[in-house]
A and B are shown apart, each in its own frame.
Chain A
Amino acid sequence: MNLISWGMYPKIKNHKTTLKNISDLSHFTTTINEFIAYGNGRSYGDSAINDEILYTKNYNNFLDFDEENGILNIQAGVLLSEILESFVPRGWFLKVTPGTKLITVGGAIASDVHGKNHHVEGCFSDCVQEFKIMLADGEVQTVKPESELFLATCGGMGLTGVIISAKISLKRINSQYIRQTTIKTKNLKETFDAFESHKELPYSVAWIDCLAKGSDIGKCLLMVGDFADDGDLDYKSKSKLNIPFNFPSFALNTLSVKAFNWLYYAKAPNGISKQKVGIDSFFYPLDSIRNWNRIYGKNGFTQYQFILPKETSFEGLQEILGKIAHSGKGSFLAVLKLYGKENKNYLSFPIEGYSLALDFKIEDGLFELLDELDKVVVRLGGRIYLTKDVRVSKETFERGYPQIQKFREFRKKNKMSEKFNSLQSKRLSL
């Protein structure tokens, strides 16, 4: 059974070794030529794919919880969902969580993931107190924020070593409910204004209708909110729907996407409305459908996610959304988000500005379209998110990440570049 990524593309033959304990790992690391660590397979592209894979999800013990300071020590294979299951009922939540809870802690660090509160809490690395990592020589090192190894590893796509465990700080909550406000906008201008005027709320995200054209471009549902002060903490993960097989690839044509976008948009009341919703439906709407990636068919899909500096965001989004609408290549999910300040990590994705994420099924002509979009992104000073990427060119990537040379030198100096590699790292010479 070959391991694949969430986008189900590319599919290559690989050999899997399961991480069980430190001494086996040390032996593996020093004897195997080249490999990449793999968590729960939720990165979209080729960043955790190679011929030789270290499977870390079973390395998932909880080690300690410091109740006083809210600091949880866990092994790297623990899923965020497991943390929630144990700690929401006790009044704790993740400081930073992406739109899926089905990722490992190791993956969260390697991708330096972010969530709907980036403008307030930053990236996942901001809640990491320290972590342990096995380096190329098979030795374990404890890493604290600000050190070079920390800056290279957070967002470093698993290319500096194997993350073994981490201490992360949780935040207090009084309720498992979020008070949500939904704002329905008519165009991009209104969308931007709505983001700005709700900046004081910690959580915000917008669903954009990508197929809207002309003056409708950028119309969206913006959802903002914060945890309620009252209510219970009786959190249990709901049972899941499952997509048991790959849909035929014609299932997702322009018409069906249009219908979906229309239903989603049309169902929301005009203007501003308020709701009280649970953690799962607010933070993880798609996790309730197991294997939702299969709706794109067996050829797989990719998620195109870019970010633009604030100054150029409006112009850039207008142009890119226009090109996408014109191409007719539909995206089920288009998520727009306003980001706060960038951090110091060498390869973390977020910069201050707007990011858009869209899914595309893999088909002829897609990569040409994305290359076109890349040109706009690069021209306007933006960058592409490695965790989602499977096809960006080295040139586009390098122009977006000015610290890449530092990262490469650090890898080389510490013999990481010969040991830890993915298809992506080889494609982009990371």
Chain B
Amino acid sequence: MSYVLIIGAKSDIAKEVARTYAKNGYNLYLAARGSEELAELKTDIEVRSSVSVELLDFDITAYETHADFYNNLSEKPLGVVVVSGYMVEQKKAQKEWDESLQTINVNYTGAVSILNIIANDFEKERRGFIVGVSSVAGDRGRKANYIYGSAKAAFSAYLGGLRNRLYESGVSVLTVKPGFVATKMTENLDLPEKLTAQPEDVAEDIFKAQQAGRNVLYTKSIWLLVMLIIKHIPEFMFKKMSI
């Protein structure tokens, strides 16, 4: 059975995405920094699903290593899911340039670097799927979260362009825009229940949307409506608001 490559495999969403693909019979490459920390997840997936799981060291901001990383894969994957993300508090990011840069590099630059390489290969082979986990935060810049949000906005735009380019080669590209998700990253925030998804539900949504060849996925789906409203608030009003 084919391999799926998961980039940024240590996050809670990635863990559930990995389990979901394994459950459906896919072998896995799990790529992350310090991949030895994923040993337990590898065992977990192998016991659950009897698929094969390979752990790979990968640093999304070490751009110069990306080509070798991909070329050295023993078997090229059928699909890739980029889950890497980096979010610090907005106030910290706007004060410390290093934090801003890391936010941009993990959420955008690094993702572009690895996906350029993979997209070229998939295009040539005329097969495969690409899933990028962006964010609703990229739909409109808000004072509460615009450094992270702008990096995700760039990533969403990139994925849109990539989808357009690869359409002819039969390679599908899915942009995922999660709203609130109950993960390590959000553990200490008081999130509204109705707008908050569980990582396993996000993973299930991603899998289904990818298999169905969809383009953009909001999860939970209510976020499509929420963001539609937020996007349409006129700027002269929006700039005075705190949302």
Contacts and interface: CB of A to CB of B under 8 A. Distances in A.
Contacts of A82: 48
A65 B23 contact: no
Contacts of B50: 90
A63 B50 CA distance: 13
Contacts of B193: 1
B125 interface: no
Interface of B: 12, 23, 40-41, 43-44, 47-50, 184, 187, 190-193, 196
A61 interface: yes
25 contacts: A1-B191, A1-B192, A1-B196, A18-B184, A20-B184, A58-B12, A61-B40, A61-B41, A61-B44, A62-B43, A62-B44, A62-B47, A62-B48, A63-B43, A63-B44, A64-B43, A65-B47, A72-B47, A82-B48, A85-B23, A85-B48, A86-B47, A86-B48, A86-B49, A90-B50
B62 to A, nearest CB: 27
Interface SS majority for chain A: mixed
Contacts of A18: 184, 187
A86 B12 CA distance: 20
A58 B50 CA distance: 21
Contacts of A85: 23, 48
Contact of B47 (A1, A58, A63): A63
B190 A1 contact: yes
A82 B192 CA distance: 27
Nearest to A60: B44
Given A20-B184, A90-B50, 10 more contacts: A1-B190, A1-B196, A61-B40, A62-B47, A62-B48, A64-B43, A64-B47, A72-B47, A85-B23, A86-B49
Interface string A260-289: 000000000000000000000000000000
Contacts of A62: 43-44, 47-48
B45 to A, nearest CB: 8
Contacts of A63: 43-44, 47
B10 to A, nearest CB: 12
Interface in A67-86: 72, 82, 85-86
A5 B191 CA distance: 19
Interface of A: 1, 18, 20, 58, 61-65, 72, 82, 85-86, 90
A61 B196 contact: no
Contacts of B44: 61-63
A70 to B, nearest CB: 13
Contacts of A72: 47
Contacts of B40: 61
Nearest to A245: B194
A240 B36 CA distance: 37
Contacts of B196: 1
Contacts of A20: 184
A72 B192 CA distance: 36
A86 B43 CA distance: 14
Nearest to B12: A58
Nearest to A85: B23
Cβ-closest 3 pairs across A and B = A62-B47, A61-B44, A86-B48
Nearest to A72: B47
A20 to B, nearest CB: 8
Contacts of A64: 43, 47
A420 B41 CA distance: 29
Nearest to B42: A61
A65 B48 CA distance: 9
Which of B41, B47, B192, B193 gathers most chain A CB within 10 Å?
Answer: B47
Nearest to A64: B47
Contacts of A1: 190-193, 196
A63 B40 CA distance: 8
A61 B40 CA distance: 7
Which of B23, B41, B48, B187 gathers most chain A CB within 10 Å?
Answer: B48
Which of B44, B49, B192 gathers most chain A CB within 10 Å?
Answer: B44
Nearest to B190: A1
A169 B43 CA distance: 19
Nearest to A90: B50
B203 to A, nearest CB: 13
Contacts of A86: 23, 47-49
A18 B47 CA distance: 24
Nearest to A21: B40
Nearest to B191: A1
B152 to A, nearest CB: 24
Which of B12, B187, B190, B192 gathers most chain A CB within 10 Å?
Answer: B187
A65 B23 CA distance: 16
A85 B25 CA distance: 13
Contacts of B43: 61-64
Nearest to A62: B47
B192 to A, nearest CB: 8
Contacts of A90: 50
Contacts of A58: 12
A241 to B, nearest CB: 15
Nearest to B196: A1
A299 B192 CA distance: 20
A334 to B, nearest CB: 31
A58 B41 CA distance: 12
Nearest to A73: B47
